[in-house]
């Protein structure tokens, strides 16, 4: 039995997240069916590194899957990319140790939230970025962003039902930066793990700080008290991308800025 470690990219606009759903189409369902068709077996279970919400995208998403087929990894990549729809692509495939698990072996993840900051809607960014046509004070947003770095209880930056299911809401943020170029604002955040809607709420909090609806003291209070009211709005899923997944020591990876 082989354990394949596979990286894919997907546009999540048409899917109800990665994880298989009973009454909605998911990326997992489509990928599993394609693997079954390629290997001429019943669809195997793939184990993803993250669930991702409905409408969220991934630039590099990892899953592992156990197969008995001896297909070469390059043949797996080519075959899968023939069978998958245009909004999902296999980027790489390799044989992994038997005990490798895409979710439980994750050491860090990086997310990017994209904001179209141009005055008019960009039809080519439809469902791929959040349109916000008002001025952005990047220095002010970065001042707030620095408050998130380190180990904190992020219970105030989690959707209520997700928080109820968590045994711990403590996470470590390694880096958080805001940049604006050519009308596109990019909020880039990396950490050892993220809560339900956490990145979208952090992004919304930075937008609220920009608008003056939240202060730096409000952000500090949200982190210190876990009170959701001190944080900002949850921004739409369309702007969120899982950008990278790290296996191994975080300090070895360039995106953590160490």
Tell me: pLDDT of 257 over 80.
no
Domain topology for 108-256: Alpha-Beta Plaits (3.30.70)
**pLDDT tens figures, 226-249:** 999 999 999 999 999 999 999 986
Q: Which CATH class is domain 2-95?
A: alpha beta
| Ramachandran area for residue 17 (φ above 0: left; ψ -120 to 50: alpha; else beta) | left
Question: In the prediction, which pLDDT does 254 show?
Answer: 42
Residue 122 bears catalytic tag: no
> Looking at beta carbons, which pairs linking 26-30 to residues 24 or more positions away fall under 8 Å?
27/52, 27/61, 27/88, 28/63, 30/84, 30/85, 30/88
% of the chain exceeding 90 in pLDDT:
90
Mean pLDDT of the chain: 94
> Do residues 90 and 34 lie in contact, with contact meaning Cβ atoms separated by under 8 Å?
no
C-alpha gyration radius of the chain: 19
**pLDDT tens figures, 28-41:** 999 999 999 999 99
The catalytic position among 53, 86, 99, 153 is 53
Does this chain's domain 2-95 share its CATH topology with 108-256?
Answer: yes
Tell me the three state secondary structure of residue 249.
coil
Question: In the prediction, which pLDDT does 258 show?
Answer: 36
DSSP alpha helix (H) spans, 47-136: 73-83
Mean pLDDT of 136-151: 98
Tell me the three state secondary structure of residue 174.
strand
Question: In the prediction, which pLDDT does 163 show?
Answer: 63
**pLDDT tens figures, 57-83:** 999 999 999 999 999 999 999 999 999
CA 159 to CA 153: how far, in whole Å?
A: 14
Going from N- to C-terminal start, the domains of the chain cover 2-95, 108-256
pLDDT classification of 164: cutoffs 50, 70, 90: low
Mean pLDDT of 251-256: 44
């Amino acid at each position: 039995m082989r354990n394949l470690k596979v990286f894919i990219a997907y546009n999540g606009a048409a899917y109800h997240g990665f994880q298989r759903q009973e009454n909605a189409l998911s990326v997992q369902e489509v990928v599993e069916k394609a693997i079954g068709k390629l290997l001429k077996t019943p669809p195997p279970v793939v184990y993803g590194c993250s669930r991702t919400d409905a409408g969220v995208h991934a630039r590099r998403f990892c899953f592992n899957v156990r197969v008995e087929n001896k297909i070469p990894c390059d043949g797996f990549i080519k075959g899968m990319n023939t069978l998958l729809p245009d909004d999902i692509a296999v980027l790489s495939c390799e044989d992994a140790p038997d005990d490798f698990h895409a979710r439980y072996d994750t050491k860090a993840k990086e997310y990017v939230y994209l904001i179209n900051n141009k005055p008019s809607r960009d039809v080519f960014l439809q469902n791929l970025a959040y349109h916000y046509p008002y001025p952005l004070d990047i220095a002010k947003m970065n001042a707030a962003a620095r408050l998130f770095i380190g180990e904190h209880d992020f219970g105030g930056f989690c959707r209520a039902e997700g928080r109820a299911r968590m045994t711990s809401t403590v996470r470590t943020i390694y880096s958080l930066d805001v940049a604006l170029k050519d009308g596109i604002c990019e909020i880039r955040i990396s950490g050892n793990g993220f809560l339900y809607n956490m990145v979208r709420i952090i992004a919304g909090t930075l937008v609220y700080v920009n608008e003056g609806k939240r202060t730096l003291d409000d952000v500090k209070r949200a982190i210190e008290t876990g009170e959701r009211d001190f944080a900002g709005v949850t921004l739409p899923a369309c702007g969120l991308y899982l950008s990278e997944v790290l296996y191994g020591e975080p300090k070895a990876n360039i995106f953590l800025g160490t």
